[in-house]
């Protein structure tokens, strides 16, 4: 492994709000100036963006930002200062009449933990930073570290205000976060730029097509970008649901992530869709190690082993599975897999 390199593993913050005009644009009214200031605190910038009737999405210099009328999701990789954005989001949301009702912070395990800035140096510091910035009324709090027999582990912090009812629909969605390391070499090579005359926009589109990413969730409207000399990010919009992919292809610390919010929304076939999507993702990247965290709503919790039925026939072996309940209902199931050594 390289002594030091780019940190692919993201930190992810999901903030939900209550407040005025549930059917209006809500938090989408956040101005460009405010958004840029918030991102500056996290130490990243906007490189691209795309919106639809339901939400706005941005590709960042380090990962992605999604703004719904009453929900914000931001994930950043590298050595960004993600949690520095929290108090600014809360401040600007409040100015628009929106008050936080729940907060979820998740991340995998850093490849280069010693390179992380405070408070990302360890999970305990992150949790105490979060608790300091969140209002005390978010009193239902829980933090967990889910480990596996691989190098992958999963950190989850959730807190919510038990007295605030969130708008129904946004609670009904599944969230899948997949982290992959040790990518198949020939898959990873597709995320290096070869044609220098292409813009980052065009090179990104070519990578989407060549890699097979374009068919992971067909019918998505995709906003993609290729970094120089390598690396790739995309946001895919499908109604109120999104998927997002980020790739750091360098050998020694190659990493790719896939996240999808709102899988199988309202179709009653969530299990089938999650399985099919997961299989396509694994096929695109051919990872040596893959971990998947599924957050499911109350009454539709996942059982351990769900992902195994898809990944085992592809030569991956289950190396650990854990589940935790989250405040407010529902659970998070974490499963890690390793490529079986060929005999």
Per the annotation, binding residues for substrate are: 6, 62, 227, 250
Min separation Cβ 224 and other proteins, Å = 9
DSSP string, 126-143: HHHHHHHHS-TT--EEEE
| Site for other proteins, residues 220 to 239, rule: CB under 8 A | 221, 223, 237
Q: Is the dihedral of CA 187, 111, 123, 308 positive or negative?
A: positive
Query: In this structure, are residues 331 and 301 in contact, taking their beta carbons and an 8 Å threshold?
Result: yes
Choose between 48 and 148: whose C-beta lies nearer to other proteins. 48
Q: Is 120 a catalytic residue?
A: no
Given the complex with other proteins, which of 30 and 86 has the nearer CB atom?
A: 30
215 in catalytic set = no
Comparing CA positions, the residue from 295, 7, 41 lying closest to residue 157 is: 295
Would you call 77 a catalytic residue per the annotation? yes
CB 42 within 8 A of CB 85: yes
Count CB-CB contacts under 10 A for residue 3: 6
Nearest approach, Cβ of residue 199 and other proteins (Å): 4
| E strand spans, 69-202 | 71-76, 98-107, 140-147, 153-160, 175-181
Q: Which DSSP state fits 194?
A: -
Among 201, 229, 305, 309, binds other proteins (CB under 8 A): 201
Among 44-52, 76-84, 86-94, 124-132, the segment contacting other proteins (CB under 8 A): 44-52
Rounded-to-integer distance, Cα 129 and Cα 78, Å: 19
Nearer to other proteins by C-beta: 61 or 115? 61
Q: Which of 40, 202, 209, 312 binds other proteins (CB under 8 A)?
A: 202
Q: How far is the CB of 49 from other proteins (least distance, A)?
A: 3
Q: Is 145 in the site for other proteins (CB under 8 A)?
A: no
Looking at residues 46 to 85 of the shown chain, list those that interact with other proteins (rule: CB under 8 A).
46, 48-52, 56-58, 67
Q: Which residues on adjacent β-strands are paired with residue 291?
A: 179, 336
Taking only Cα atoms into account, the Rg of the chain, rounded to an integer number of angstroms, comes to: 19
Kindly tell me which residue out of 22, 25, 97, 135 binds other proteins, with binding defined by CB under 8 A.
25
Site residues, other proteins (CB under 8 A): 25, 28-32, 35, 46, 48-52, 56-58, 67, 199-202, 221, 223, 237
Give the residue numbers annotated as catalytic, written as ranges: 63, 77, 233, 246
């Amino acid at each position: 492994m390289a002594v030091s390199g780019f940190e692919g593993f993201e930190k992810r913050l999901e903030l939900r709000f209550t407040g005025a005009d549930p059917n209006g644009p809500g938090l989408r009214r956040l101005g460009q100036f405010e958004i840029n200031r918030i991102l500056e605190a996290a130490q990243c910038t906007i490189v691209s963006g795309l919106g639809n009737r339901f939400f706005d999405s941005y590709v960042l210099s380090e990962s992605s930002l999604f703004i719904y009328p009453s929900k914000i999701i931001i994930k950043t990789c590298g050595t960004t200062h993600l949690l520095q954005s929290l108090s600014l989001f809360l401040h600007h949301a409040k100015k628009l009449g929106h008050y936080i009702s729940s907060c979820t912070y998740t991340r995998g395990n850093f490849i280069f933990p010693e390179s992380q800035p405070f408070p990302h140096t360890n999970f305990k510091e992150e949790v105490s930073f979060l608790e300091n910035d969140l209002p005390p009324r978010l009193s239902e709090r829980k933090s967990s570290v889910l480990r596996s027999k691989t190098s992958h582990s999963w950190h989850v912090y959730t807190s919510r205000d038990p007295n605030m009812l969130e708008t129904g629909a946004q609670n009904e969605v599944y969230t899948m976060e997949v982290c992959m390391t040790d990518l198949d070499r020939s898959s990873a090579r597709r995320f290096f730029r070869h044609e220098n005359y292409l813009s980052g926009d065009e090179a990104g589109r070519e990578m989407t097509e060549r890699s097979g990413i374009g068919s992971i969730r067909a019918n998505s409207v995709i906003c993609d970008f290729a970094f120089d000399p390598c690396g790739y990010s995309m946001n895919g919009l499908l109604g109120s649901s999104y998927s997002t992919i980020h790739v750091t292809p360098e050998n020694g610390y190659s990493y790719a992530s896939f996240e999808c919010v709102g899988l199988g929304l309202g179709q009653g076939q969530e299990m089938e869709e999650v399985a099919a999507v997961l299989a396509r993702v694994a096929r695109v990247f051919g990872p040596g190690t893959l971990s998947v965290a599924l957050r499911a709503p109350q009454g539709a919790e996942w059982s351990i082993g769900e992902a195994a039925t898809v990944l085992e026939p592809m030569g991956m072996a289950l190396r650990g599975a854990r589940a935790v309940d989250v405040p407010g209902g529902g659970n998070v199931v974490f499963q890690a897999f390793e490529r079986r050594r060929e005999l």
